[in-house]
């Protein structure tokens, strides 16, 4: 019945995209269907990929970014053309800013029509728009190039400094057919996408010499160190040298926050007093006051020297001179330092470590007293004390955190015990990562997720509680409901509309989760919050706890009030 031509098995663009991703160990896609990628989502699911479908592309994109951070594989976000692409773009740019590997794959309209601006359905030159906002951007026009396109996207996302990559797939590509065997041969399994980058021996020696001569050394761990998954080596470096360390927000838990060498509880003291600072996967950006100014004041300001471990050579000297740049991947750099340190490394002078310990004790005692208070209306401290205890009991739970006061207080109050268990607003301090990150954390790890959300922050991604319910994910969202952005107390001096930072009073956020079959709880007291949170973590059921917080308790912009420009005009 068949002749030669008919018996040749064919494949098409849809299947080649799926096969290329699968060949490279990618098993999950975060997506929002529509023309031209609806069938791609269906077929990927039919081919055994986990397809997590969202209500807005930004959250699918944020999920992909978080999955990339957690797994060291690029998270995949799949969107439709123009508006869907643009909705995903914020997440792509944010992932790039945070050095998280992700690939935004968007369907696009017909090139011939787009390039002549003839007004195609969802017309947009997506490649050109994506380019400045990510690490690399590619477009595939022919089915036989899909393998190369996916391989280039994966390698670009993962190699060197990780980041976001855009992959443009025009609608016409999906239906293109080719011989199946040739199609298979055209796919590329990327070998060693993030090759080790061994630091030069003389740069290792330079760093060791500097560290050895330090009287007041300090190590700062950043989220690059968390991403690198060199947990044992980093712990060994800290413990063998005895050097006090500060974890940046998402590096918390790399060593338990209760570690004796953690200087978190006396951060401003160590930043101002340290004479040699070693940065491990942390940039001297605004989050570290650019390495200068008042934060870095104190007697050693003029003579302080920095050692910086980073995979990106051009990160060095970006804000202040780096006396000992150590360019390479964190695992290799830290191993090389460990080899040079040997077994008889002299611990830092006792006046430094004891001075830190004393200040730490004092601050921790003060904090314990504050946490023990039980005001009539919950405040950030009394509510976060409950979550602090819950995370202590379940150190494997992943904490997602956004907001202003809700973020800043949670970061300092909720101790983390394991690496990569804290996901937050990152380098931009961006609102809206909450539900996307929570979905990704649950999907990629299967662990309980506790999302600590300011009421404003939650609003950016709140509709994704339906996604959480639909996939029955073990996510407990806790909305810190203080009736607004920073506070709920602002008033419009003219009357009429409410002030711009104020929301509907006493909003019943828990009913949003109930609407989709999840558990919703209103918590007015720490006991009510504790009970609901314990149940949520134990049951794994999608839960939203509406935690009522004193609307006067917050401050403008949390801890970064000073970044607000001040008006000099009288009115
Ligand atoms: P934080 O906000 O926690 O201070 P940053 O995002 O500013 O951290 O810094 C992360 C740094 O880590 C980036 O400069 C990035 O180049 C670097 N980095 C990421 N992965 C690696 C790795 N595997 N090895 C070395 N450096 C890395
Ligand atoms: C994409 C500006 C920073 S923090 C915040 C906003 C709007 C919300 C703070 O209120 P919340 O927390 O969440 O209720 P709390 O506890 O202080 O009351 N748009 C984006 N990103 C940012 N960072 C903002 C706006 C902002
Ligand atoms: Mg609020």
User: What tens digit of pLDDT does each residue of 85-127 get?
Assistant: 999 999 999 999 999 999 999 999 999 999 999 999 999 999 9
Query: Whose atoms come closest to the Cα of 406: which ligand?
Result: 2
Q: Among 222, 226, 251, say which to mutate for ligand 1: greatest number of ligand atoms within 8 Å of CB.
A: 222
- Distance from residue 565's CA to the centre of ligand 2 (Å): 16
pLDDT for res 501: 98
- Distance from residue 509's CA to the centre of ligand 3 (Å): 12
Neighbour order of strands in the sheet with 305-310? 245-247, 217-221, 276-280, 305-310, 324-327
Average pLDDT over residues 178-184: 98
What is the number of the ligand 2 atom nearest to the C-alpha of 90?
1
pLDDT for res 568: 86
- 129 burial (CB, 10 Å; 0-12 / 13-18 / 19+) is middle
Distance CA 420, CA 423 (A): 7
- Distance from residue 343's CA to the centre of ligand 3 (Å): 50
CA dihedral 357, 360, 362, 364 (to 10 degrees): -140
Residues with CB under 5 A from ligand 3 (ion): 454-455, 482
Distance CA 299, CA 301 (A): 6
Cβ(442)–Cβ(475) below 8 Å: yes
Supply the residue whose CA is at minimum distance from atom 7 of ligand 1. Answer: 283
- Distance from residue 482's CA to the centre of ligand 3 (Å): 5
pLDDT for res 1: 41
Q: Assign 343 a pLDDT band (cuts: 50, 70, 90).
A: confident
Q: H or E segment at 278?
A: strand 276-280
What is the number of the ligand 1 atom nearest to the C-alpha of 329?
24
**Three-state secondary-structure class, residue 523:** strand
Does 250 contact ligand 1 (Cβ within 6 A)? yes
Whole-Å CA distances, 211 to 32, 242, 276, 557: 50, 12, 7, 37
Q: Using the predicted structure, report yes or no on whether residue 299 has a pLDDT greater than 90.
A: no
Does 161 contact ligand 1 (Cβ within 6 A)? yes
Does 312 contact ligand 1 (Cβ within 6 A)? yes
Does 311 contact ligand 1 (Cβ within 6 A)? yes
pLDDT for res 180: 98
What is the number of the ligand 2 atom nearest to the C-alpha of 432?
1
pLDDT for res 25: 98
Average pLDDT over residues 133-148: 98
What residues flank ligand 2, with Cβ below 6 Å? 403-406, 429-432, 454-457, 480, 482, 485-486, 554, 558
Does 424 contact ligand 1 (Cβ within 6 A)? no
What is the number of the ligand 1 atom nearest to the C-alpha of 312?
16
Can you say how many angstroms the Cα of residue 483 is from the centroid of all Cα atoms in its chain? Answer: 26
- Distance from residue 486's CA to the centre of ligand 3 (Å): 5
Task: Phi first, then psi: give them for residue 125, nearest 5 degrees.
Answer: -85, 80
Q: Using the predicted structure, report yes or no on whether residue 2 has a pLDDT greater than 60.
A: no
**Over the stretch 437-456, which tens digit does the pLDDT of each residue have?**
999 999 999 999 999 999 99
Beta bridge partners of 325: 308
């Amino acid at each position: 019945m068949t002749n030669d031509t008919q018996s040749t098995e064919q494949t098409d663009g849809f299947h080649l995209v799926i096969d290329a991703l699968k060949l490279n160990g990618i098993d999950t896609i975060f997506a929002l269907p529509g023309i031209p990628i609806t069938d791609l989502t269906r077929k990927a699911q039919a081919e055994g990929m986990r397809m997590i479908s969202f209500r807005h592309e930004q959250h699918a994109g944020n999920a992909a970014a978080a999955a990339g951070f957690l797994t060291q594989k690029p998270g995949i976000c799949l969107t439709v053309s123009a508006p869907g692409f643009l909705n995903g773009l914020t997440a792509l740019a944010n992932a790039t800013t945070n050095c998280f590997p992700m690939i935004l794959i968007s369907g696009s309209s017909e090139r011939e029509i787009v390039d002549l601006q003839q007004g195609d359905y969802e017309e947009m030159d997506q490649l050109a728009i994506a380019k400045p906002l990510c690490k690399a951007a590619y477009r595939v026009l022919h089915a036989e190039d899909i393998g190369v396109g996916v391989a280039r996207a994966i390698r670009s996302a993962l190699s060197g400094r990780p980041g976001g990559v855009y992959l443009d797939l025009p609608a016409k590509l999906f239906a293109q057919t080719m011989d199946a065997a040739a199609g298979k041969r055209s796919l590329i399994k990327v070998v060693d996408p993030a090759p080790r980058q061994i630091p030069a021996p003389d740069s290792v020696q330079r760093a060791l010499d500097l560290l050895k001569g330090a009287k007041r050394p300090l190590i700062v761990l950043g989220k690059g160190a968390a991403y690198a998954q060199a947990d044992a080596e980093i712990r060994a470096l800290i413990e063998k040298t005895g050097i006090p360390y500060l974890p940046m927000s998402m590096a918390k838990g790399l060593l338990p926050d209760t570690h004796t060498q953690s200087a978190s509880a006396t951060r401003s003291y160590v930043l101002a007093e340290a004479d040699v600072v070693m940065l491990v996967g942390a940039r001297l950006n605004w989050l570290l006051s650019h390495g200068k100014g008042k934060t870095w004041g104190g007697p050693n300001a003029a003579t302080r020297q920095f050692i910086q471990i980073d995979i990106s050579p051009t990160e060095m000297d970006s804000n202040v001179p780096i006396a000992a740049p150590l360019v390479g991947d964190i695992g290799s750099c830290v191993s090389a330092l460990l080899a040079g340190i040997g077994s008889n490394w002299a611990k830092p002078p006792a006046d430094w470590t004891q001075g830190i310990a004393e200040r730490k004790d004092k601050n921790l005692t003060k904090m314990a007293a504050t946490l023990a208070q039980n005001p009539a209306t919950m405040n950030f401290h009394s509510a976060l004390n409950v979550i602090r205890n819950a995370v202590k009991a379940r150190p494997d739970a992943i904490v997602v955190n956004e907001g202003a006061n809700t973020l800043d207080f949670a970061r300092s109050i909720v101790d983390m015990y394991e690496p990569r268990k804290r996901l937050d607003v990152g380098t931009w301090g961006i609102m809206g990562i909450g539900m996307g990150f929570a979905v990704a954390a649950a999907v990629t790890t299967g662990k309980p997720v506790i999302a600590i959300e300011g009421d404003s922050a939650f609003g950016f991604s709140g509709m994704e509680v339906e996604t959480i319910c639909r996939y029955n994910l073990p996510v407990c969202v806790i909305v810190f409901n203080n009736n607004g952005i920073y506070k709920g107390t602002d008033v419009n001096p003219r009357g009429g509309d409410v002030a711009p930072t104020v929301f509907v009073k006493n909003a019943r956020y828990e009913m949003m989760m109930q609407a989709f079959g999840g558990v919703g709880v209103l918590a007015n007291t720490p006991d009510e919050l504790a009970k609901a949170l314990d149940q949520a973590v134990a049951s794994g059921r999608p839960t939203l706890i509406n935690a009522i917080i004193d609307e006067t308790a917050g401050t403008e912009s949390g801890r970064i009030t000073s970044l607000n420009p001040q008006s000099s005009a009288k009115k």
